[in-house]
Structure 1
């Protein structure tokens, strides 16, 4: 029931912030699968990828075409994001779990500092006349490293694409909507790699039943809560002032970073 309740929150973050659920899902699955010890982080990033595939895919499907047209011509970027994501998911299997956890915290913390100090996010430049006139959310050459880092940490990459779209002049509403198809390009190959055969080290708690590195029970509970919320909010999006929307994005990142700090 707790995971379903958190799933409601991942649905909100998917629509309002373009996260696809990754930033929320990782700390929650680490908590839910704490019996795995250090390996909980590996399972959390893998499970997060699967949750993001469904959430971001569904959110993209119900996004108006007039918004998605801003990604026209982004084929090379999407392919490189996917290639980088596959590499990042493979790296998750061999990297020490503590490295991934502290990298997650550092990644989110540096992003918060960047959003607060560098101009263009809280007060974006002059807005573009139409989505089709806007620059691409990221240069294609950055696709592979962004995809690798996002898949390794289980976050989907929206933390880079949303600020980039803001600095291109988009409102938070449009920027977060465009983050979902980019998140899907990262999460799909990462989830496929994570679902492949893999055995946790001896001594891992057998009470957690996995498929590859994915906890299907946790993923199902999160999605059960998230998908109805996505459907409702896409049909009737809340009217949030743009500046409050931007500050809320930063606030959520701060909460997630604190939640990932080791206890005790």
Structure 2
């Protein structure tokens, strides 16, 4: 899935080389698409990609990938939120407690990554996404769109604030941004895929901001010097910049001209993207 020549050069040079930067910009285009269409903010795409680009770090590549992913999500989700119509964002009115608890959970999750073994975190990421796919396929409420009668009789419900801490903690610990939990939850609460994915960006921002702050303050990794990587805390700024260079123009275009996707097709596409992420992480192992 990743270009062989780029992967070999990354390992040999011990960092993000010029070929890798071009590949990361290209993959950044995909993170822009996933930010707008699926509310991912780049987390699910950025984590396996940075693990690949910084493979010279060995087990620590996962720790750097989750931190770098948080920074990418701050910028992507923040930009996507800024260009989202205000009438859409009004659906989060009264969710202040949820946003605060998401941030609190994210701070705890980001701190936990500094002490958890990097290898098990990678497999926890894969296992979590795989279990999410199974849940979306087997449990009712995600794939089946609501009928007009249901929509008229049962208005969409806000997410309970109590979900904030666990969602924020898991999302920051794995570097996934939270949309893999918030989008299905909002979907089952009665929202369409279009609205659920749009609202996932401000929720992701609440998670990614404290996670990024914690990652920036982390001590340097000894392996980074051996791999000739220049990190700020745990964040690979070169990889993050390349991903954002590809993502931001795409977000701007798609927010102005969002594609019209049938709701059920949209839901299946969401599951398909999660499956691709699992495959990418397994191939980068």
Place the TM-score, normalised by the shorter chain, in its bin. over 0.9
Alignment RMSD? 1.7
Question: Partner of 2:157: helix, strand, or coil?
Answer: coil
Query: Aligned partners of 1:44 and 1:153: how far apart in 2?
Result: 9
Query: Aligned partners of 2:231 and 2:120: how far apart in 1?
Result: 22
Question: Partner of 1:248: helix, strand, or coil?
Answer: helix
Q: 1:197-251: CA deviations, max 9, x gaps?
A: 4121457633211000000000000000000000000000011111111111000
Conservation of the 8 A alpha-carbon contact between 1:124 and 1:170? no
The structure 2 residue matched to 1:223, chosen from 238, 244, 248, is 244
Compute the displacement of 1:262 (Å). 5.5
Query: Aligned partners of 2:213 and 2:103: how far apart in 1?
Result: 11
Conservation of the 8 A alpha-carbon contact between 1:37 and 1:204? no
Largest Rg, 1 or 2 = 2
Is 1:33 aligned to residue 50 of structure 2?
no
1:78 aligned partner: 99
1:135 aligned partner: 157
1:94 aligned partner: 115
Aligned length: 262
Query: Aligned partners of 2:252 and 2:176: how far apart in 1?
Result: 22
Is 1:243 aligned to residue 264 of structure 2?
yes
Conservation of the 8 A alpha-carbon contact between 2:100 and 2:206? yes
2:214 aligned partner: 193
Is 1:154 aligned to residue 196 of structure 2?
no
Compute the TM-score of the two structures, normalised by the length of structure 2. Answer: 0.88
Q: 1:126-175: CA deviations, max 9, x gaps?
A: 4646xxx5311x31112111101000000000011111111122221111
Compute the TM-score of the two structures, normalised by the length of structure 1. Answer: 0.95
Question: Partner of 1:228: helix, strand, or coil?
Answer: helix
Is 1:108 aligned to residue 132 of structure 2?
no
Is 1:120 aligned to residue 141 of structure 2?
yes
